[in-house]
């Protein structure tokens, strides 16, 4: 259901619009009603709304003034005007504010139904586009993490950005938004997990592991490992050997 706010200063008409039309059948739910544009904005500032169905001529703030503010501050909200014949020119002028359509008074059920069926189709299409966009972002995150795991020694933000054809700054903010952690946090996590895996193999010396993971100085690697896991690489390796001995016994 899409969230619909209805605004009209004529109380009887407002009540009729909200209570006597099959909104749920059309895919909309009345979440609020307002008697002027200011009341509508006050509600929108605190609550999500998908569509505003508003009269043009209202006291305090007209429908056109409301549309202007919505176009500037809430561009995702769709607007449908309700207007009398004498206000037709105003309705046409307001199309620059992204108004989806207008319905003339007195309201005819067939016209209202047609307008909101078309609007729902448009909203459904935008939702589908948003889902595709979400998939696009998820794919970027996957590509970046694959790049990191495959290049633990040299991985860095600039090269990752080149891999997905984005700027480093944009990729950094996008990755944080999508995953909740910074690019550098995931890089450290990937390196530390690989370090654990390599430390379980006696043939790898600590300095070899350090170099393979991009640490020029083994001491820096040891400090990073201890800060991450709470024990040094040497202690981790010793504990792992003890566990093996216990399992043999």
Which pLDDT tens digit goes with each residue over 134-168?
A: 677 888 899 999 999 999 999 999 999 998 888 88
Q: End-to-end alpha-carbon separation of the chain, Å?
A: 64
What pTM did the predictor assign? 0.54
Fold of 136-184: Arc Repressor Mutant, subunit A (1.10.10)
Helix (H, G, I), strand (E, B) or coil at 57: coil
CA torsion 60→63→69→71, rounded to 10°?
180
The domain ranges of the chain are: 2-107, 136-184, 188-248
Which pLDDT tens digit goes with each residue over 105-133?
A: 888 889 999 999 999 998 888 876 666 66
Averaged pLDDT, 208-220: 94
Confidence of residue 91 (pLDDT cuts 50, 70, 90): low
Instruction: Please determine, for residue 177, whether its predicted confidence score (pLDDT) is greater than 50.
Output: yes
Q: Class of 2-107 per CATH?
A: alpha beta
The percent of residues in the chain predicted with pLDDT above 70, rounded, is 89
Given this chain, do its domains 136-184 and 188-248 carry the same CATH topology? yes
Fold of 188-248: Arc Repressor Mutant, subunit A (1.10.10)
Are the CB atoms for 100 and 122 separated by under 8 Å?
Answer: yes
């Amino acid at each position: 259901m899409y969230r619909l706010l209805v605004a009209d200063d004529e109380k009887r008409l407002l009540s009729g619009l909200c209570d006597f039309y099959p909104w749920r059948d059309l895919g909309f739910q009345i979440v609020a009603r307002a008697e002027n544009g200011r009341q509508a904005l006050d509600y929108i500032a605190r609550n999500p709304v998908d569509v505003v169905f508003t009269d043009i001529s209202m006291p305090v703030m007209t429908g056109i003034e409301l549309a202007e503010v919505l176009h500037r501050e809430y561009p995702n909200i769709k607007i449908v005007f309700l207007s009398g014949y004498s206000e037709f020119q105003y309705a046409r002028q307001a199309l620059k504010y992204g108004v989806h359509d207008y319905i003339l008074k007195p309201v005819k059920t067939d016209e209202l139904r047609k307008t909101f069926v078309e609007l729902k189709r448009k909203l459904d299409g935008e939702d589908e586009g948003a889902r595709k966009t979400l998939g696009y972002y998820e794919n970027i995150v996957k590509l970046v993490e694959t790049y990191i795991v495959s290049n633990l020694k040299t991985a860095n933000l600039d090269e990752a950005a080149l891999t997905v054809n984005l700027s480093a700054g944009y990729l950094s903010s996008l990755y944080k938004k999508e995953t909740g952690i910074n690019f550098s946090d995931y890089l450290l996590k990937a390196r530390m997990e690989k370090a654990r895996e390599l430390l379980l193999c006696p043939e790898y010396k600590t300095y070899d592991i350090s170099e393979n993971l991009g640490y020029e100085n083994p001491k820096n690697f040891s400090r990073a490992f201890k800060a991450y896991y709470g024990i040094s690489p040497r202690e981790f390796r010793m504990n792992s050997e003890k566990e093996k001995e216990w399992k043999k016994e």
